[in-house]
Amino acid sequence: MTAGLLAVACGGSAAPATGTKKYVVGVSNTLTGNGFREEMICSIKAQAKASGIVSKVVVANRTTDPSGQIADVRNLISAGVNVIVMNPSDRSALDAVIKQATDKGIVVVTVDQGVTSTTAYQLYNNQVKYAQLGADWLFKQLGSKGNVVEMRGINGVSADADRHQGFLATLAKYPNIKVVKETFTNWSLDPAAQQIKDILGSGLKVDGIWTSGIDSTVVDQYVTAKKPFVPVVGADNNAFIGQLANLKSQGLAGAAVTNPATVGGAGLALGLDVLQGKTEPHLVNLDPIIWDNQSSTGLTELQNHYDTKLDAYYGVSFQVAPWTTYTKADLIACADV
């Protein structure tokens, strides 16, 4: 196995009943330095511990492309895992390696975004609806007219493509909304911050910003530049939730659409069910909801979910009902199994 790619965590969980089979879990992630992905992996570890039937978690975690992920998955297969939870880097490029795994009896669960594989189980947020909810809120907030920026994720991955589809479908209903800038943030803070700096420095007239989850850094740049806020849409990231809750009095209007990073733990729960002979659907689509700071109910949700002790870039949706069973403390601890 390539050095630095596969980290093994084992021991520490309460022992299951004598004779209960314990499983080895593989995890494949291709984007590092991203709070969502870090929380995703922590939720897998937490659910593994909570299950009581996992002996070891093997994590392949690096920033790479589909070719690199294929190599990582092959290494996980060689490591003898029973289930692989992966965040896929491409909609169709991984289908062959997924089949290699499932042909060997390994349960593969893709989370966060979809694949075209017919042998994988899939559990992810409805990404089209994610975009539709946020875009519709933003366009209505602008009175159905004005200039907006669409800040996308990683070009070519399915979650970004689905969200863009939802954004465009909503945009078609608002003929007086104009997209004056489209960027790819790669779901990374530094590119997003630079893009907003460039936009603010360009003099481009912007009335609102839709983001694919890189959100608090957008607000930060407006604060740093001492520019009046424009409405911003993002995800349920802790820092952004706090901004929406606390900066409304300073003129910030915005909305957060739920996109739980804890789909990782939910995906593992589904995979363990399958390993134990339970019948589960091959596709589980989670419906996102939206919390805005312009309605009393939305503001209450934002205030209730903001956690000053939580990492700024962690999502605040800790559980994915009915799948996850860990405690919040176990999620945050992110301890090895």
pLDDT, tens only, 293-336: 999 999 999 999 999 988 888 999 999 999 999 999 999 999 99
> Are residues 97 and 183 part of one domain?
no
Distance CA(148)–CA(128), nearest Å, equals: 19
In the chain, the number of structural domains is 2
Kindly report, residue by residue over 51-89, the tens digit of the pLDDT.
999 999 999 999 999 999 999 999 999 999 999 999 999
What is the pLDDT confidence band of residue 193, given thresholds at 50, 70 and 90?
A: very high
> Are residues 115 and 230 part of one domain?
no
> Are residues 147 and 76 part of one domain?
no
In a domain, 307, yes or no: no
What is the pLDDT confidence band of residue 19, given thresholds at 50, 70 and 90?
A: low
What is the CATH number for 152? Answer: 3.40.50.2300
- pLDDT score of 12: 31
Residue span of the structural domain in which 43 resides: 6-125+262-287+318-333
Distance CA(89)–CA(67), nearest Å, equals: 9
> Are residues 270 and 237 part of one domain?
no
> Are residues 279 and 165 part of one domain?
no
Domain end residue (candidates: 217, 238, 257): 257
Copy the structure tokens of residue 26.
Answer: 């593989």
In a domain, 33, yes or no: yes
In a domain, 105, yes or no: yes
Domain end residue (candidates: 207, 240, 257): 257
> Are residues 243 and 138 part of one domain?
yes
* 98: number of Cβ within 10 Å: 23
Q: Say if CB 291 and CB 298 are below 8 A apart.
A: yes
In a domain, 192, yes or no: yes
In a domain, 308, yes or no: no
> Are residues 220 and 144 part of one domain?
yes
- The continuous run of DSSP H or E covering 251 comes out as none
> Are residues 172 and 105 part of one domain?
no
> Are residues 117 and 13 part of one domain?
yes
Helix, strand, or coil (residue 191): helix
> Are residues 43 and 111 part of one domain?
yes
Copy the structure tokens of residue 92.
Answer: 């169709």
Sheet containing strand 146-152, edge to edge, reads 177-184, 146-152, 208-211, 232-235, 254-257, 290-292
Q: Say if CB 35 and CB 237 are below 8 A apart.
A: yes
In a domain, 221, yes or no: yes
Distance CA(300)–CA(292), nearest Å, equals: 9
> Are residues 240 and 171 part of one domain?
yes
> Are residues 187 and 242 part of one domain?
yes
Residue 291 C-beta-side C-alpha neighbours within 13 Å: 25
Domain end residue (candidates: 257, 279, 301): 257
Helix, strand, or coil (residue 130): helix
